[in-house]
Amino acid sequence: MSGAETLSPPLRVTLYSDALYFGGAEMYLALLAEHLDRERFTLTAVLPPDPGAERLRALLTAQGVRVHELERPGFSWLPRLPRMVRRFRAVGGDVLHLNLPSSYDAGVSSVAWAAREAGYARVVSTEHLPMIERKYRKFPTKVFFSHWIDRIIVMTRQNRDFLVDLHGMDFEKIRIIDNGVNAAAPFSAEERAARRSSWGVGSDDLVVGNVAALTRRKGQHLLLEACAQLRDHQPAWRLVIIGEGEERTQLESQARQLGISDRLCLAGPAADAARAMHAFDLFVLPSLVESMPLTLLEAMAAGLPCVGSAVFGVPEVIDPEQTGLLVPAGDTAGLARALGRLLSDPDLRARFGRAGRERFDRRFRADAMSARVADLYRDVEPAQLGGAR
């Protein structure tokens, strides 16, 4: 850190999220708030006054971030612009970080203009799912308001290409920054045994683990089909899924029809899901849509061999035949073969797990992610900051 930067006042950063629910995009903001240097940055946040924002509000508040409320712009963004400007002017800041859980929520994009109009010197946005084409993707609002965005963060090269090709974003504004997570503390032998027992896992069983919302795009229905092909596989296995969602009843019914109800544990949500992975023997993510999933990074941090769908950003996380195995999305036979291979080979599981942890340490730590984002925040001309203050 230079002397000039040491003497400069902290940069005032406002984190914005529409927080429809709590997922990876919201955890991303919480991790940034945890790791940004408070001698360099003063943090505030703007969230909607809705139940979907409660968990993010609690995590940010626990990090000492003052949270302000503002209704989502939605399709009513135009009449709400004056109120948005007043709110951001009252919050006050130098940099707005606009966290977009999807790439084409045109109404949310209007927040960029409102912040600049309120005196913010810089707007940085993060696009988490630019592969999703909205039915109104040709609506020009997103492209129009992107002129007030200085830098756009994506997690993968493919997502950068989607933003340029599908959504008309300026290539020169886009920066690729890997997602990052914290490494959870491992269980003791006694804690691990107790957690596995709570899932109904026998002493000789291997645990195939999945952590994800129970939604169709996470692919648990495909995972059940693959596991049914391994019904008589030895050594014995048990599938544990941590998460909750609208597909729970359907998955229970599917497991009964496939004859694997006795092998399935739908464990529900867990506040310590990242730590609970230390009670798995391998991790599988059969999703149909993903960017750079935090649960996959957490599994690597836990030293687990990983199986994932070769979809969107997942191949930029799993190094095939080094840290895990990739399977074409929707290929249940291929998924069964990959799982069977790992279940049968303890040496391969150990080798993939060690390599995955090393890859996590090199690329996917939350502190490293936050440091790179901080560099984007700091890339503001002093004259601009003077105007903003």
For residue range 300-354, list pLDDT tens digits in order: 999 999 999 999 889 999 999 999 999 999 999 999 999 999 999 999 999 999 9
Q: Are residues 356 and 260 in the same domain?
A: yes
In the prediction, which pLDDT does 257 show?
97
Contact 105, 137 (CB under 8 A): no
Q: Are residues 21 and 67 in the same domain?
A: yes
Question: How far is 45 from 27, CA to CA, in rounded Å?
Answer: 14
Q: Are residues 291 and 333 in the same domain?
A: yes
Question: How far is 194 from 22, CA to CA, in rounded Å?
Answer: 28
**DSSP code of 51?**
G
Q: Are residues 300 and 356 in the same domain?
A: yes
Question: How far is 142 from 140, CA to CA, in rounded Å?
Answer: 6
What residues have CB less than 8 Å from 56, skipping those under 6 apart? Answer: 17, 19, 22, 26, 29, 30, 47
Query: What residues make up the domain containing 218?
Result: 189-363
Q: Where are the alpha helices (DSSP H) in the chain?
A: 3-7, 24-35, 54-62, 77-91, 106-117, 141-145, 157-167, 189-198, 220-228, 248-258, 273-276, 294-301, 332-344, 346-363, 366-378, 382-388
Q: Which is it for strands 237-242 and 282-285: parallel, antiparallel or unpaired?
A: unpaired
In the prediction, which pLDDT does 383 show?
45
Secondary structure (3-state) at 254:
helix
What residues have CB less than 8 Å from 369, skipping those under 6 apart? Answer: 31, 32, 35, 177, 178, 179, 180
**DSSP code of 343?**
H
Q: What is the 3-state secondary structure (H, E, C) of 167-226?
A: HCCCHHHEEECCCCECCCCCCCHHHHHHHHHHCCCCCCCEEEEEECCCCHHHCHHHHHHH
Contact 30, 56 (CB under 8 A): yes
In the prediction, which pLDDT does 389 show?
47
Contact 375, 95 (CB under 8 A): no
Place of tokens 């997502």: 159
Q: Are residues 308 and 277 in the same domain?
A: yes
In the prediction, which pLDDT does 386 show?
45
What residues have CB less than 8 Å from 345, skipping those under 6 apart? Answer: none
Q: Are residues 71 and 199 in the same domain?
A: no
Q: Are residues 149 and 195 in the same domain?
A: no
Q: Are residues 82 and 163 in the same domain?
A: yes
Say what the pTM is.
Answer: 0.90
Q: Are residues 72 and 199 in the same domain?
A: no
Q: Are residues 285 and 381 in the same domain?
A: no
What residues have CB less than 8 Å from 69, skipping those under 6 apart? Answer: 46, 47, 48, 49
Q: Are residues 235 and 140 in the same domain?
A: no
CATH of residue 23:
3.40.50.2000
Number of domains in the chain: 2
Secondary structure (3-state) at 22:
coil
Q: Are residues 137 and 260 in the same domain?
A: no
Question: How far is 372 from 382, CA to CA, in rounded Å?
Answer: 20
Predicted confidence pLDDT, tens digits, the chain (389 residues): 444 455 678 999 999 998 888 888 999 999 999 999 999 999 999 999 999 899 999 999 999 999 999 998 887 888 999 999 999 999 999 999 999 866 556 688 899 999 999 999 999 999 988 877 665 555 678 888 889 999 999 999 988 998 888 888 899 999 999 999 999 999 999 999 999 999 999 888 999 999 999 999 999 999 999 999 999 999 999 999 999 999 999 999 999 999 999 999 999 999 999 999 999 999 999 999 888 999 999 999 999 999 999 998 899 999 999 999 999 999 999 999 999 999 999 999 999 999 999 999 999 999 999 999 999 998 865 445 544 44
What residues have CB less than 8 Å from 81, skipping those under 6 apart? Answer: 110, 113, 114
Average per-residue pLDDT for the chain: 91
